Structure 1
Amino acid sequence: MTEQTTERRAHTSTRADDGYFGPDSMSWRLFADPASKLGGVAAILLQALNPDMMRLFDQTTSLYVDAAGRAERTARYIDTTIFGDREHADFAGASVRRMHAHAVWTDPRTGRELRADTPDWLLWTHNTIVWGVLRAADAFGPRLTAEEQDTFVFEQQLAAEFVGIDRSTVAATRAELDEYIDAQRDWMALTLPAAEITRTLRKPVLRGNPLTVWTGVVIQDGILSLLPDWALLLYGIEGRPMNLRSAAKTTRGLIGAARRNEGYEQTITELTTRVDTHPYRKVRTRG
């Protein structure tokens, strides 16, 4: 038993439980891997191509003012539902459902009501995250068998229920997930709000430390390499296949180095400690 394993077990022994997934799950394995963060960004880029979702968020959230804060809260929500104990995972899901229920806007020109809790939108958001994590694993590791990929997709059906998605509507295998993502392209579009929040894809910031700038641009292009061809076309960057392939190769090396330096046990210890101390929503102590 390694020192980190002992440390993690000592820590998790003080928790109520290991949550809905646990140490032996594919969900812990993949969401603890550094590649999943890049897959999560790819998922956000896909989500931004849902035109009605972006119109609603443009009207009801501080999407541009606090983009970093929103990204941090989203990451904390995923960490809480995956690595937190069951009570905190349930509480995080209930909090997001309440937030979605209040995000409503009526188009003054058409009278059409747009709601964040629209089932198709929830399903799109969920499936892009699962797909993005798997695509990142395809490109940057860890190498997975077909059975392991299907297991991850199946486990994430439970994660879909946290936000109110009917489990029977969610993909159960990698093949079903790929088919679902491909089938959505006919109703996707690049709206002005989506163009605003993704403008650095077309014009990266090149100021600052040269090594930092280079690494950032390479990883950004590595993320773009995960997207389907139709999404690259919508974002106007489909003409850079050689650049993206080269960036993907370099990004794989960077992620591999991060994986070796951090190690799975160390990452799990850090994640569970952070979730226990700073969950998405803290469960108040009840008398």
Structure 2
Amino acid sequence: MPSLHTTKQLIEKYEPAADYGFFGPDSVTWKVWSYPTSYILGFARAVTIEHLDPNLTAAVVQSGGVKYRPHTRYGRTLRYFGMVAFGATEPTARAADVLVKVHTKAIGTDPVTNSTYDANKPSSQLWIHMTAWHSILYCYEKFGPGRLSAEEEAQFWKECARAAELQTIDPNTVPRTREEVIAYFEDWRPHLASSEAAQDMVDFILRLDVALPPDMPKWQKLAFAPALELLSAGVIATYPQYMRELLNVKQSPLTDQLAVKVLKPFHAVVARTNPLKFWLMELIAPQAVQVAAPAFLGIPPLNPITMTPREAQEKYGFDAPNDAHKDMRAKQYDRVFGKGLTPSDEGLIESEQHIGSIAPLHSA
């Protein structure tokens, strides 16, 4: 169990970042992503509804990481999201480059559609990207301070498009207004599909105990159970009806309303209280704290600059993600589709030094 620290102790504990990354303190990204609704509600919403893409579900089930090592998978993903939003340019550009290698492993044949899937496919990456950024903003609005101003929201979606340069996405395909985002999700509806595997994964994630350290004593996990149940209800409260039906998730309108009434003031308290905010972060995603801490605490970077991902990729010698590691991607395709073998773990192993260990923690 992490300890509580004063703001002064926290500032002394963490080192400054090399630079302001891709957004900086004046960005709407920092304002929205730093709010506590991001850590569990926004993240859990994103990683559950994204399973309505059958190709993504097939990739997740094939890798086995979510169920085999849920806490480390949760922490690695939050760390990467934190790097994109708050991290310095060089390590984030490098992590994004390595992530392309990681995703070369996520290829195969989807048993639901009988089509091939590839996690590096631009449209698949855009679906993941949009479910994340939309979920983070939607939970900020529903459980946090409320709607952004029109100017701030326009800036948020511009910054969302900038962040897309770290993935294999064509930035020109990224929605840039609220109306375009709504249209994007409506256009995706005919492509969404549920399955036993998707419903099983969503049920597994919605318990939210995957966010707790596996070595936490059982009595402590029992003490957290009511809070996790409430947070899970909060996540479900954000699902539109058609997603609830696809995912076979049932919850009454009264429970929806109660979850919002309780969780909104709770997150307001966490947002105002650095010791509580960092205690919560260190509990559920210690891998992400070091990345986000300088931004959360207002620690000035060594070099107070920002740049775009494309500028960083050029400066540090990385290809644009959709052009990166084509030889490795071709080898994986030949290995899986040509020879019928399982994909290599090369990229996954390399990612440990940039995103965090893949080794599962053991239960208490």
- Unmatched tracts of structure 1, length 5 or more: none
Would the aligned equivalents of 1:104 and 1:114 in 2 still touch at CA under 8 Å? yes
Deviation of residue 11 (structure 1)?
4.6
Aligned to 1:257, which of 269, 281, 303?
269
SS of residue matched to 1:23: coil
Q: In 2, Cα distance between the equivalents of 1:61 and 1:82?
A: 27
Cα deviation 1:26-53 (Å, max 9, x = unaligned): 1111111101121111011111111121
Would the aligned equivalents of 1:39 and 1:133 in 2 still touch at CA under 8 Å? yes
TM-score scaled by structure 2? 0.66
1:155 aligns with 2:159: yes
Aligned to 1:193, which of 185, 194, 197?
197
Amino acid at match of 1:45: T
Q: Match of 1:57? A: 60
Q: In 2, Cα distance between the equivalents of 1:101 and 1:198?
A: 24
Q: Match of 1:271? A: 292
Q: 1:280 to 1:150 in 2, by over 3 A?
A: farther
Bigger mean CA deviation after superposition, 31-40 or 186-195: 186-195
Amino acid at match of 1:271: A
Q: 1:131 to 1:107 in 2, by over 3 A?
A: closer
Deviation of residue 87 (structure 1)?
0.3
Greater relative contact order, per chain length (Cα 8 Å cut-off, separation 6+)? 2
- Unmatched tracts of structure 2, length 5 or more: 1-6, 210-217, 282-288, 302-350, 356-364
SS of residue matched to 1:64: helix
Q: 1:147 to 1:265 in 2, by over 3 A?
A: farther
Q: 1:129 to 1:233 in 2, by over 3 A?
A: same
Deviation of residue 110 (structure 1)?
8.9
Q: In 2, Cα distance between the equivalents of 1:59 and 1:281?
A: 23
Would the aligned equivalents of 1:185 and 1:230 in 2 still touch at CA under 8 Å? no
Would the aligned equivalents of 1:63 and 1:70 in 2 still touch at CA under 8 Å? yes
Q: In 1, Cα distance between the equivalents of 2:186 and 2:206?
A: 24
Would the aligned equivalents of 1:42 and 1:132 in 2 still touch at CA under 8 Å? yes
Deviation of residue 201 (structure 1)?
7.5
Deviation of residue 199 (structure 1)?
2.2
Would the aligned equivalents of 2:29 and 2:156 in 1 still touch at CA under 8 Å? yes
1:91 aligns with 2:91: no
Would the aligned equivalents of 2:271 and 2:277 in 1 still touch at CA under 8 Å? no
Q: In 1, Cα distance between the equivalents of 2:276 and 2:155?
A: 19
**Identity across the alignment (%):** 25
Aligned to 1:173, which of 155, 173, 177?
177
Q: 1:241 to 1:88 in 2, by over 3 A?
A: same
Cα deviation 1:194-229 (Å, max 9, x = unaligned): 222222588898x96776322211111011111222
TM-score scaled by structure 1? 0.82
Q: Match of 2:235? A: 223
Q: In 1, Cα distance between the equivalents of 2:275 and 2:139?
A: 18
Deviation of residue 280 (structure 1)?
7.6
Q: 1:33 to 1:160 in 2, by over 3 A?
A: same
Deviation of residue 146 (structure 1)?
2.3
Q: 1:263 to 1:150 in 2, by over 3 A?
A: farther
Q: In 1, Cα distance between the equivalents of 2:80 and 2:234?
A: 25
Q: In 1, Cα distance between the equivalents of 2:112 and 2:290?
A: 52
Would the aligned equivalents of 1:92 and 1:281 in 2 still touch at CA under 8 Å? no
SS of residue matched to 2:104: helix
Q: 1:96 to 1:25 in 2, by over 3 A?
A: same
Amino acid at match of 2:157: V
